[in-house]
Amino acid sequence: MLLTGAEILIKSLVDEGVDTIFGYPGGAVLNIYDELYKYKNEIHHILTCHEQAAAHAADGYARATGKVGVCLSTSGPGATNLVTGIATAYMDSIPMVAITGNVPKSLLGKDSFQEVDIAGITMPITKHNYIVKNVDDLQNIIREAFFIAQEGRQGPVLIDIPKDITANKAVYTKLIPKELKKNSTSFKEDILSELIQYINESERPFIYAGGGINSSESTQELVNFAEKINAPVSTSLMCTSAFPFDHPLYTGMIGMHGTKASNIAATKCDLLITLGARFSDRVISNQNHIKNAKIIHIDIDPAEINKNVKVNSYIIGDLKIILNKLIPLVKEKENKEWIETVDSLKEIKSVEINSDDDELTPEFLFDKLNKLNDGSFIITTEVGQHQMWSAQYFNFKDRRSFISSGGLGTMGYGLGAAIGAQIGKPNKQVFNIAGDGSFGMNCNELATVVKNKLPLIVIIMNNNALGMVRQWQTIFYDGRYSETTLDRSTDFVKLAEAFGAKGFRLNKRSQVEDVLKEAIASKEPVLIDYVIHCDKKVFPMVAPGAPINQIISEEDINNN
């Protein structure tokens, strides 16, 4: 069958199971959009207000569903607007295919109108990228791109298509997607025996689980493994929601804003079992207090082994396969004294409901959300204090229900990601928890939410400040608040109404529950302006470069 490049592209996307694309049209992709018009019953296109939001939406869709997210933009500024979203997906190992148009081949490299070398620009932030120079190669490139995005350590792939390629014709034959084979490339029996020996001999094992648990769909295997060896489990930000929040072995998030139990247990254990995590500097930036423990690392990416922390033993491969091999071979353990020690470090989350103080706090908001959560809530966040509060205080009941930019820390990520998550999971209730600073970077996407009638609820933790930066200025810069007090006159309620959404402003506790219930019941786009004090801080906290057991508390700050 002889088809144009644009037809081959769209048919190939359908062959790969793509049902949704997030994008923005332009001259270089007009042929593609003409074909999308013809295939609108098979592929749902979401027009965002900005290409960056298209990339974030594709990312959020992928995180919520486990499928490959797809975004599409025109050449030049349209392509460069995708870059931050591509980098966000790359840092967090999210499967995504970004498709960009470009000027015709004959104009490449001539500083043509709306021409950039997007393949060169994105080379460091993609698993692979392509410039399609022959229409005969297009179908195989698309098929290979989807395979690469999902194979091994997942990540984004970019396909740059000159406009004449979308007009030229080639033979199309329907092909099934390339088969993904999960494997353990470095799996050797002697290494497995070594790991088993470390585990069986340990008296104080501790598990540090990362985003690889989500990528490999290994939540149940993690639970089974932890229960068999009776090891406490901490999670990175990217693993939040992948381990049951109410499991007795769960110690919470680890790292700069991790729990006391997780951070201290990591320094007191005799065996640190690291699963699908990369020893980020926000988790363990100073190794001195974990050097007495043996360290096991299981990860799919060989580049992560011994990169940040030197380990005693490792296996490279798919977590699900490896855990399923390990579980029947390790001894069942009690570790009674160790469990009691870790349990004594756990701090009970409490919210003073009946306090005479009517001031709104993050803890109060999440207490109300937790009580309303029937298991259907997905939380997306921007980046900052509200992001940490979400991870600390919300009780996630389902995996893939926390969606946040971890590695890159992208302000402006959350609303685009919420759009993707809501479209990918239409039966879930998506909340985007935002700061007023982050929300200012992407508030135009409310138009996308309203146009598509998405029942998203945006909650702005409005402290009139760039809260996390202000917190650092308070603690480390003697309160010199350089450019972190926003002093903006934006009325978020009126802004929401201008876009066609419902708006609410909350100033006291007695309003919160009724407004949340009304917002959820409305099944409409809602924005809630949740007003908090500018000096509300995220605790616990570890200073940059300090060992994770040197925990700063609110009491420490109050006592200087």
- Do the domain assignments include residue 260? yes
Q: Does residue 320 share a domain with residue 247?
A: yes
Given 345, 371, 397, the domain boundary residue is 345
Alpha-carbon distance of 6 to 9, in angstroms, equals 5
Given 314, 345, 376, the domain boundary residue is 345
Exposure string (b/e) for 383-413, b if CB count within 10 Å is 16 or more? bbbbbbbbbbbbbbbbbbbbbbbbbbbbbbb
Tokens of 134: 């022959």
What does 489-535 look like in DSSP terms, one character per residue? ---HHHHHHHHT-EEEEE-SHHHHHHHHHHHHHHTS-EEEEEE--TT
185 pLDDT exceeds 60? no
Alpha-carbon distance of 245 to 235, in angstroms, equals 10
- Do the domain assignments include residue 82? yes
Q: Does residue 113 share a domain with residue 24?
A: yes
Amino acid letter at 559? N
- Do the domain assignments include residue 176? no
Q: Does residue 162 share a domain with residue 115?
A: yes
pLDDT category of residue 558 using cuts at 50, 70 and 90: confident
Amino acid letter at 393? Y
- Catalytic positions: 51, 113-114, 163, 468
User: What does the pLDDT read at residue 10?
Assistant: 98
Cα four-point dihedral sign 428, 509, 483, 545: negative
Alpha-carbon distance of 98 to 69, in angstroms, equals 8
Residue 68 CB neighbours (<10 A): 25
Q: Does residue 381 share a domain with residue 302?
A: no
**Total structural domains within the chain:** 3
Q: What CATH code is carried by the domain that includes residue 378?
A: 3.40.50.970
Q: Which stretch of 136-145, 172-181, 479-488, 517-526 has the lowest confidence by average pLDDT?
A: 172-181
Alpha-carbon distance of 22 to 106, in angstroms, equals 28
285 pLDDT exceeds 80? no
- Do the domain assignments include residue 66? yes
Q: Does residue 235 share a domain with residue 116?
A: no
Q: Does residue 285 share a domain with residue 164?
A: no
Q: Does residue 118 share a domain with residue 195?
A: no
Tokens of 446: 């409310």
The whole domain housing 411 covers 362-556
Alpha-carbon distance of 17 to 527, in angstroms, equals 33
Spatial contact of 396 and 252, defined as CB atoms under 8 Å apart: no
Query: Burial level of 74, CB count in 10 A (0-12/13-18/19+)?
Result: buried
Residue 227 CB neighbours (<10 A): 15
Say whether the peptide bond before residue 540 is cis (omega within 30 degrees of 0). Answer: yes
Amino acid letter at 22? F
- Do the domain assignments include residue 423? yes
Mean pLDDT of 219-241: 97
Classify 218 as helix, strand or coil: coil
Alpha-carbon distance of 254 to 237, in angstroms, equals 8
228 pLDDT exceeds 60? yes
Q: Cα-atom radius of gyration of the chain, to the nearest Å?
A: 24
Q: Does residue 156 share a domain with residue 193?
A: no
Spatial contact of 34 and 4, defined as CB atoms under 8 Å apart: no
Q: Does residue 538 share a domain with residue 395?
A: yes
186 pLDDT exceeds 80? no
Spatial contact of 132 and 103, defined as CB atoms under 8 Å apart: no
Given 112, 138, 171, the domain boundary residue is 171
- Do the domain assignments include residue 326? yes
User: What does the pLDDT read at residue 352?
Assistant: 57
Alpha-carbon distance of 276 to 237, in angstroms, equals 12
Q: Does residue 394 share a domain with residue 323?
A: no
Alpha-carbon distance of 134 to 379, in angstroms, equals 43
User: What does the pLDDT read at residue 555?
Assistant: 85
Which residues partner with 233 through β-bridges? 207, 250
Tokens of 319: 């977590």
Q: What CATH code is carried by the domain that includes residue 278?
A: 3.40.50.1220
User: What does the pLDDT read at residue 235?
Assistant: 98
- Do the domain assignments include residue 355? no
353 pLDDT exceeds 60? no
- Mean pLDDT, the chain, rounded, equals 94
Q: How far is CA 225 from CA 51, 198, 201, 294, 456, in A?
A: 42, 14, 16, 18, 36
Q: Which stretch of 74-78, 289-293, 377-381 has the lowest confidence by average pLDDT?
A: 289-293
Q: Does residue 368 share a domain with residue 339?
A: no
pLDDT in tens, 10-39: 999 999 999 999 999 999 999 999 999 999
User: What does the pLDDT read at residue 354?
Assistant: 52
pLDDT in tens, 41-90: 999 999 999 999 999 999 999 999 999 999 999 999 999 999 999 999 99
- Do the domain assignments include residue 407? yes
Which residues partner with 273 through β-bridges? 207, 296
Q: Does residue 337 share a domain with residue 417?
A: no
User: What does the pLDDT read at residue 298?
Assistant: 96
Question: Which residue, among 132, 135, 21, 106, has the nearest Cα to 72 in the 3D structure?
Answer: 21
Put the strands of the sheet holding 294-299 in their side by side order: 250-253, 233-235, 205-209, 271-275, 294-299, 313-316
